[in-house]
Amino acid sequence: MIEWSYKITQFLPIKIDDQYVAQYVSYHTKKLNESIEHNIETWIFLHTHILYMTFIYIQLLRISQNKKEEFKYSRIWLASNEKDFIKANKSPFAFSKINEKTVFRFFRLIDFDDWTIGDISSCVNERNDLLHATWTNIEKLDQKLNKYLKNMEKVVKKSQWFLNWLFTNFLEAKIFGNWYEITHDDLELNLYIPYQFSEYELELLVRDDYSPTSKAIIDDLWFEFEQGSRECTPHRLEWETSFDYSNNNWVISLWKDKQSFEIKFSKASNRTIHVLYNDPKSIENIALAIGIKNISDIADCTNFDTSSRTRTPQKWEIVILKNIYWNYCAIKILDIKDRTRNDEKDEVTFEYVINDAWSTDFSI
């Protein structure tokens, strides 16, 4: 079920610039995973419903921002106070002020029929029944949770013409040419804009497109398509880097999105360095893999102690980080420089491996 939880987050945007919305999503994702881990059925359902409605509100925000004229006239059926809430339409939670059942009507702006709208909104009616104190049917839980996922898939696939239109507009506006090597910064600036695309949506958009831009997205998001398959899985990421830990508030960000790890270093000496997890909000916990020489020797990274907020590895030691999306990263310290000990700069050099989604095994 943990893997199922990760699939839900793939429907949420790659970038969310509103700190409140980002923290809201992070909190409920974390609580969903904790509820799954402890098998608390009611809370599993509740946090799933909250994330589903957040997904719906984000979809509606994107529609309102890209179909401005149509959206302006579609508000006629709203009560006057509801019109005021979504007038600026800068936050997805503006739509939360509208009745949960009726807010789905905005999908008509991208040609959803009433049957589809009724289907994707039916979970609102079912929520109260399923949260009743006497409800204990786990089979019903599995059935309803799968319906949320199928509804999210249905919304995206029914919206595909709209997504194609957005994506085509991006391609037409940013013609880099076959000679131009598109970088992560290009995509970050022009495509990974707030509330625009999710991993799941981009996977659909680039699958059958062979433009340089689509190739750059596939490489940047580490998508790997299996022949004849509709599934997409990220590669394991392995790299070596150096970081001046006196800069950027001592924080370096490895990778991005659901596979993102913000690592905060703090000075100790030129033989050891502090690694902290409580300040970067993307990190759930941290562990020191004592006695392990190589990252590839780690068969199960959950076997190490995560009770401390700080670890102080020496050169050649390995630290394991778990982010809020339950993904794992291992870093091995290769070198440490300290300006207060006659080095030219404060610098840590390390190799790192970011595992495939949810995998705890670095030996594969």
Q: Is 191 left (phi over 0), alpha (psi -120 to 50) or beta?
A: alpha
Radius of gyration of the chain (CA): 23
* Domain membership of residue 244 as a residue range: 237-354
Domain co-membership, 180 together with 322 = no
pLDDT score of 280 more than 80: no
Mean pLDDT of 260-272: 87
Residue 338 pLDDT > 80: yes
Q: Is residue 168 part of a domain?
A: yes
Is 363 among the domain residues? no
Domain final residue pick, 175, 202, 234: 234
Tell me how far apart the alpha carbons of residues 97 and 86 are, in angstroms, rounded to a whole number. 8
Tens of pLDDT, residue by residue over 165-197, are 888 777 666 555 544 567 777 777 777 777 788
Give the 3-state secondary structure of residue 143. Answer: helix
pLDDT of amino acid 179: 45
DSSP string, 147-190: HHHHHHHHHHHHTHHHHHHHHHHHHHH----TTS---HHHHHHH
Nearest to 305 by CA among 324, 294, 319: 319
200 and 274 in a single domain? The answer is: no
Is residue 359, in this structure, part of any structural domain at all? no
For residues 332 and 68, give the distance between their C-alpha atoms in angstroms, rounded to a whole number: 50
Same domain, 75 and 140: yes
Place of tokens 């990421």: 237
Hey, what amino acid is at 248? N
362 part of a folded domain? no
Against a cut of 0.85, is the pTM above it?
A: no
In sign, the C-alpha dihedral spanning 304, 309, 315, 320 is positive
Of residues 138 and 295, more confidence is placed in 295
> How far is Cα 256 from Cα 196, in angstroms, rounded to an integer?
16
Q: 47-66 pLDDT, tens per residue?
A: 999 999 999 999 999 998 88
Contact of 363 with 260, CB cutoff 8 Å: no
Residue 146 or residue 219, greater confidence: 146
pLDDT band at 200 (very low <50, low <70, confident <90, very high): confident
Q: How far apart are the first and last CA of the chain?
A: 22
pLDDT for 230? 34
Q: What is the mean pLDDT of residues 325-345?
A: 90
Query: Per the domain annotation, does 346 fall within a domain?
Result: yes
Identify the CA nearest to 171 among candidates 156, 187, 159.
187
What was the pLDDT predicted at 84? 58
Same domain for 98 and 244? no
Same domain, 279 and 337: yes
Do the domain assignments include residue 360? no
In this model, does residue 135 exceed pLDDT 60? no
Does 76 lie in the same domain as 19?
A: yes
Residues 46, 123 within the same domain = yes
Residue 231: pLDDT band (50, 70, 90) is very low
pLDDT, one tens digit per residue, over 141-150 is 777 788 899 9
Q: How many CB atoms neighbour CB 124 within 10 A?
A: 18
pLDDT (0 to 100) of residue 228 = 38
Q: Is the dihedral of CA 105, 110, 111, 115 positive or negative?
A: negative
Residue 251: band (very low, low, confident or very high) from pLDDT cuts 50, 70, 90: confident
**For position 278, what pLDDT does the model report?**
61
Mean pLDDT of 17-45: 87
* Mean pLDDT estimate for the chain: 80
Same domain assignment for residues 6 and 130: yes
35 and 146 fall within a common domain: yes
Any idea which residue has 């002020």 for tokens?
97
Domain boundary (200, 234, 268) is at 234
Q: Could you give the number of structural domains in the chain?
A: 3
Q: Does a structural domain hold residue 43?
A: yes
Query: 126-140, 191-205, 319-333: which range is least confident on average?
Result: 126-140
Q: What is the pLDDT of residue 86?
A: 61
Give the mean pLDDT of 274-286.
78
**Which 3 state secondary structure label does DSSP give 14?**
coil
Q: What is the pLDDT of residues 290-320, one digit of tens each?
A: 999 999 999 999 999 999 989 999 999 999 9
Going by pLDDT thresholds of 50, 70 and 90, the confidence category of residue 321 is: very high
Instruction: Judge whether 298 and 330 are in contact, CB under 8 Å.
Output: yes
**153 assigned to some structural domain:** yes
pLDDT band at 232 (very low <50, low <70, confident <90, very high): very low
- Is there a single domain that holds both residue 139 and residue 29? yes
Q: Say yes or no: 216 and 303 in one domain.
A: no
The DSSP secondary-structure symbol of 355 reads P
115 has a pLDDT exceeding 50: yes
Alpha helices, H only, the chain: 2-9, 19-37, 41-66, 68-74, 80-85, 114-130, 138-158, 160-173, 184-190, 199-206, 212-220
Which of 132, 158, 184 is the endpoint of a domain? 158
Position with higher pLDDT, 83 vs 364: 364
In a shared domain, residues 14 and 143:
yes
